[in-house]
Structure 1
Amino acid sequence: MSFRISVSGAAAEAVRTAVPALVDDLVASGITALDPALWGPAAEDEASKRLGWTESVVVSRPLLPEILALRDELRAQGVTHIALAGMGGSSLAPEVITRTAGVELTVLDATDPGQVLAALTDRLAQTALVVSSKSGSTVETDSQRRVFERAFEAAGIDPVERIIIVTDPGSPLEASAHEAGYRVFNADPNIGGRYSALTAFGLVPSGLAGVDIAELLDEAESISLALAIDSPDNPGLVLGAAIAATSPRRDKLAIVADGTHIVGFPDWAEQLIAESTGKNSTGILPVVLGTNAPELTENLADLQVLRVVDDAGVHIFGDHGGRDEIRVSGTLGAAFLVWEYATVVAGRLLGINPFDQPDVESAKVATRGLLDARPEPEPAAFISDGIEVRGTPHVIGAASDLASAVDALLEELGPDGYVSIQAYVDRLALPELEQTRDLVAALCHRPVTFGWGPRFLHSTGQFHKGGPATGVFLQILATPAEDLDIPDRPFTFGQLIQAQASGDASVLAEHGRPVLTLTLTQPASNLTVLFDALR
């Protein structure tokens, strides 16, 4: 089988309890038959327009000759480097696909001016840019396209020869792209962004970069029949039950890449699970962990451990030596499809609509308001060793230095809570900031997530506002060494990323979530101070 799963402990009990009812209710065949009634009346309208991913293998096959022909055409023109401007589902799947295949793709899902400049100055003469956006109105992607257009023109390169658009038919981006003369690939409009891995959004950038995308679809097709059958062995039903039907519910899911050939898969799964389930004050919070993460030895009652491995064994479920965990293995194409089925099964078990994201828009609205008004930045409550400290009143009220501010934030953490670290920085320049995750986890003995901003806003951002009100939030910002203007826009990238951080902080505060914001005014020298405070 191209996908295997084994479960033990609480997950095995969840499978034994929940899967028979899913089989009796014909859930798997209903999903495959595009039945929108599976998630209740309130979700029916949305579900009727969002089940196209079950047919993505068949729908996407006709795209392959066009993608491969364009790849050959670009290579003949001396294009050896593909960059991708996209956010969330438009970037996470191509990143996993290309990294797993060992193929280079520059993924630009950032608004930090330093990171955008790095992409603009990386082999521009040999670069083609894929611009991916379902709606075409995504502010990050629109801004990235504008600066690339300007850079190509300044280098004497016709942007029409170097920019490829992936979007939904009828979107504003499709209309403007056709008007400009760009090559356009349409995706199925009946597929939400986070379910789009096997559509044009996943295939166009990956195929142009050099991945064997026909093989990827073959891998997905090999598991399609098993996913459509109402059987206790259906891996989509088993995985969905294992992550959503534990009793009492383990609503944090530790996803650990543990010896798998698939590179970066937990980051893709994180968006799929968090954005699909985190609403109506419920949900499953994915927590991406390394193999030595502190949480794995804490025996946390609300944390379900799932390991992505290269051999999960041949049994659908069993004891497997007393481990209390889920283990999955398989090919990447099969994994995409199994996890999509499992996620909508989890949605049914949780009693929510797995296809909407009602709380994502609130941060976008707050960002737009700040960009329109561009108020003066809120003054820091205090500055500690060059780090500006801001936060919600309960966090900042009793703080006098960096360490006490961190302590005050963690004091807001309840017994079933989690910490979300959000780094709105140039992650190429400051990759070591990811180490803050393990430091905070060791400090608080609770699950800790880490997200690069603004990328996580299109991922776990939905869960933060719509899921259980148990999170506390640590924002880390950095003063950019150099800013970058955006053609025909009244704001810069530096102002954009600042507005995104401030906008999300304000929405979190409105939802009663504790927030601590730290701005590194001299990032290179401030890191030591920050790490010391977190220890």
Structure 2
Amino acid sequence: MVQIALTVPVQHEFETALREAIEQRVASRIAAQDATLWGPDAEPEASIRLSWTQLADASRPLVAEIIELREQLASKGLDRVVLCGMGGSSLAPEVICDTAGVPLTVLDSSQPDMVRAAIADGLERTIVVVSSKSGGTVETDSQRRAYEQAFTDSGLDPVDHIVVVTDPGSPLDDEATKAGYRVFRADPHVGGRYSALTAFGLVPSGLAGADIGGLLDQAAGAQAALYADDADNPALRLGVLIGVANRHRVDKLVLADQTRHGVGDWIEQLVAESTGKLGKGVLPVVVPFENAVNFNPSTADSILVSIGGTDAPEAQSGYAAALDVDLGAQMLLWEVAVVVAGRIIGINPFDQPDVESAKQAARELLSGGGEVPTPDASDNGIDIYGDGSTVDDAVTALLGKLDLQHGYLAVQVYLDRIAYADFAGVREVLAQRLGRPVTFGWGPRFLHSTGQYHKGGTPNGVFLQVTGTPAEDLAVPGRDFTFGSFIDSQAAGDAAVLRDHGRPVLRLHLSDIGPGLQRVRAVLGQ
């Protein structure tokens, strides 16, 4: 069931845009992989990024291959699956497995305590899926090295425990093939955030025990409706809705995830990275339920979407929609909707020009080529990088820069997201305090998701970073940096790039994470 309701007086504009999309055969041309839909500037990229439209059929041969490997591994006692990957390589398998109710450990962090905990858990029965499209993702490469060292130190052969998913011909493909690892090569004509139904989504999910054949069936069953040049096409309607709303500075997409399976986090990356560029775009705000602040009450610049709900939500202002379809169908629905919206907004939905800037800044700091920031003040074990001599003053100064009509606050936390999961509750507290949209992201995970929007999207955000000294650092084998120095460089590098773009940033570094988080939570709740 998909419901879409318009609750502000632009009904005529929506209907006109929808009619134009139907007349121009936008949906069927997407299915036909027509790279001209987004204009001449986007055409070179679009021409090599549209194979996702036919994955429900193209990925079918993978199913038997993955199931056979799962059975082989199980016969050897390898029944714990760990996924080392970032962004598009990790978010889809996480939601697929959670929806299916099968265990999958997702290691998408360079935080040393989190890496160490993952490695220490059941190493002898662990199969590690190393997943990187480019093959050069530093987080994933570092995680792989750490696991290889741990297997070797325990007398285990890494070849028996590591499976690789990458693009053909990538550096990782070459290295893994030489090492003797089992390698799955994904379709290179699918971008990372559109890769849920490629080997990147299917291999770790299938090895963990999810019904990946059923997932493809769900997507295949939705294709006729989603590729139809018809007013009842839900993806076309949703994409036009988002695009038309964006013309009126309605640039927040508040997602109430009723499924509790993390599909909101997957949609967040798809929307933010696809649309957040050229000073434009749509900011996803993921909330856990419909009565969360930013959904109820909402703001005038928000579209409300309830995922897994049965009725269209009531919007105080803006737009409202309810989506309740199977996961495979919903993934394809959102992919079509986002590229339709991108066409109306006037951006290329397949590139991510501002993601690399933060990576480069981190690399410069790691190599000693950048200026390592020093605190502007310290307050009882919390270093302050920003205005204010106390944590209270610094937070007040940052929040005072928030545009109360159109702005948002992004909370970025570079800590162990498993050990400190409950800290995510500050999103609700801050949204209540500010009456404005507030997002929450775990670093460095969000750098491969909303990080693109933060730098390239609508320039109305303010940013609160929380970092901390790990309980114990961890070396990256074969590298001249540690996990601790790497995540510090990622946080500092991203902050520097945000400031270069004129974005207000406050960083709070906790020397003792437990007490420090209590203090920060208290200050944010004021």
TM-score (norm 1): 0.94
Does the 8 Å contact 1:477/1:517 carry over to 2?
yes
Structure 1, 54-63 or 268-277: larger mean CA deviation: 54-63
- Partners of 1:470 and 1:482 in 2: CA distance: 37
Identity %, equivalent residues: 52
Counterpart check, 1:42 vs 2:32: no
Deviation, structure 1 residue 320: 11
Q: Please list, as runs of the form range in 1=range in 2, the aligned pairs for 1:307-456 lying within 5 A after superposition.
A: 307-312=306-311, 324-373=319-368, 377-391=372-386, 396=387, 399-414=388-403, 415-456=405-446
In the alignment, what sits opposite 1:510? 500
Instruction: Describe the shift of the 1:319–1:411 C-alpha distance in structure 2 as closer, same or farther (beyond 3 A).
Output: closer
In the alignment, what sits opposite 2:83? 84
Any idea what the Cα deviations from partners look like across 1:453-487, whole Å, max 9, x if unmatched?
A: 00000000000010111110000001101000011
Deviation, structure 1 residue 438: 1.5
Any idea what the Cα deviations from partners look like across 1:100-150, whole Å, max 9, x if unmatched?
A: 000000000001000000110010011000000001100000000000001
For residue 265 of structure 2, what is the amino acid of its counterpart?
Answer: D
For residue 524 of structure 1, what is the amino acid of its counterpart?
Answer: G
For residue 361 of structure 1, what is the amino acid of its counterpart?
Answer: E
Q: 1:6 aligns with which of 4, 7, 13?
A: 4
Does the 8 Å contact 1:11/1:242 carry over to 2?
no
Structure 1 segments unaligned to the other structure (5+ residues): none
- Partners of 2:279 and 2:371 in 1: CA distance: 34
Please state whether the residue corresponding to 1:296 is helix, strand or coil: coil
For residue 150 of structure 1, what is the amino acid of its counterpart?
Answer: Q
- Partners of 1:254 and 1:180 in 2: CA distance: 45
- Partners of 1:275 and 1:92 in 2: CA distance: 13
For residue 387 of structure 1, what is the amino acid of its counterpart?
Answer: I
Matched positions, count? 521
For residue 236 of structure 2, what is the amino acid of its counterpart?
Answer: L
- Partners of 2:146 and 2:349 in 1: CA distance: 35
- Partners of 1:506 and 1:127 in 2: CA distance: 38
For residue 207 of structure 2, what is the amino acid of its counterpart?
Answer: L
Please state whether the residue corresponding to 1:373 is helix, strand or coil: coil
Q: Cα RMSD (Å) of the superposition?
A: 1.8
Does the 8 Å contact 1:10/1:324 carry over to 2?
yes
- Partners of 2:318 and 2:307 in 1: CA distance: 15
Does the 8 Å contact 2:309/2:322 carry over to 1?
no
Counterpart check, 1:486 vs 2:471: no
Does the 8 Å contact 1:406/1:534 carry over to 2?
yes
Deviation, structure 1 residue 15: 4.2
Any idea what the Cα deviations from partners look like across 1:182-216, whole Å, max 9, x if unmatched?
A: 00001100000000001100000000000010000
- Partners of 1:175 and 1:528 in 2: CA distance: 47
Any idea what the Cα deviations from partners look like across 1:30-87, whole Å, max 9, x if unmatched?
A: 1011100000010000000000000111110011111000000000000110000000
For residue 408 of structure 2, what is the amino acid of its counterpart?
Answer: Y
- Partners of 2:473 and 2:314 in 1: CA distance: 55
- Partners of 1:464 and 1:321 in 2: CA distance: 26
Q: Please list, as runs of the form range in 1=range in 2, the aligned pairs for 1:109-508 lying within 5 A after superposition.
A: 109-246=108-245, 248-258=248-258, 260=259, 263-291=261-289, 292-312=291-311, 324-373=319-368, 377-391=372-386, 396=387, 399-414=388-403, 415-508=405-498
Deviation, structure 1 residue 512: 0.6
For residue 427 of structure 1, what is the amino acid of its counterpart?
Answer: R
- Partners of 1:320 and 1:250 in 2: CA distance: 13
In the alignment, what sits opposite 2:518? 528
Does the 8 Å contact 1:360/1:458 carry over to 2?
yes
- Partners of 2:369 and 2:279 in 1: CA distance: 32
Instruction: Describe the shift of the 1:320–1:497 C-alpha distance in structure 2 as closer, same or farther (beyond 3 A).
Output: closer
For residue 255 of structure 1, what is the amino acid of its counterpart?
Answer: L
Any idea what the Cα deviations from partners look like across 1:368-411, whole Å, max 9, x if unmatched?
A: 101111778532211112211102xxxx1xx2211111111011
Instruction: Describe the shift of the 1:163–1:290 C-alpha distance in structure 2 as closer, same or farther (beyond 3 A).
Output: same
Please state whether the residue corresponding to 2:471 is helix, strand or coil: coil
For residue 135 of structure 1, what is the amino acid of its counterpart?
Answer: S
Please state whether the residue corresponding to 1:215 is helix, strand or coil: helix
Does the 8 Å contact 1:9/1:322 carry over to 2?
yes
Instruction: Describe the shift of the 1:12–1:236 C-alpha distance in structure 2 as closer, same or farther (beyond 3 A).
Output: farther
- Partners of 2:8 and 2:173 in 1: CA distance: 48
Structure 2 segments unaligned to the other structure (5+ residues): none
Any idea what the Cα deviations from partners look like across 1:349-378, whole Å, max 9, x if unmatched?
A: 101000000000000000110111177853
Instruction: Describe the shift of the 1:176–1:287 C-alpha distance in structure 2 as closer, same or farther (beyond 3 A).
Output: same
Deviation, structure 1 residue 324: 4.8
For residue 378 of structure 2, what is the amino acid of its counterpart?
Answer: I
Please state whether the residue corresponding to 1:325 is helix, strand or coil: strand
Does the 8 Å contact 1:423/1:433 carry over to 2?
no
- Partners of 2:316 and 2:114 in 1: CA distance: 46
Deviation, structure 1 residue 443: 2.0
Deviation, structure 1 residue 157: 1.0
Deviation, structure 1 residue 227: 1.4
TM-score (norm 2): 0.96
In the alignment, what sits opposite 1:74? 73
For residue 285 of structure 1, what is the amino acid of its counterpart?
Answer: L
Does the 8 Å contact 1:98/1:211 carry over to 2?
yes
Structure 1, 368-377 or 18-27: larger mean CA deviation: 368-377
Any idea what the Cα deviations from partners look like across 1:6-37, whole Å, max 9, x if unmatched?
A: 32313983642321110011100110111000
Does the 8 Å contact 1:472/1:514 carry over to 2?
yes
For residue 474 of structure 1, what is the amino acid of its counterpart?
Answer: L
- Partners of 1:376 and 1:300 in 2: CA distance: 40
Does the 8 Å contact 1:11/1:324 carry over to 2?
no
Does the 8 Å contact 2:378/2:389 carry over to 1?
no
Please state whether the residue corresponding to 1:423 is helix, strand or coil: strand
- Partners of 1:98 and 1:187 in 2: CA distance: 19
Structure 1, 521-530 or 366-375: larger mean CA deviation: 366-375
Does the 8 Å contact 2:8/2:317 carry over to 1?
no
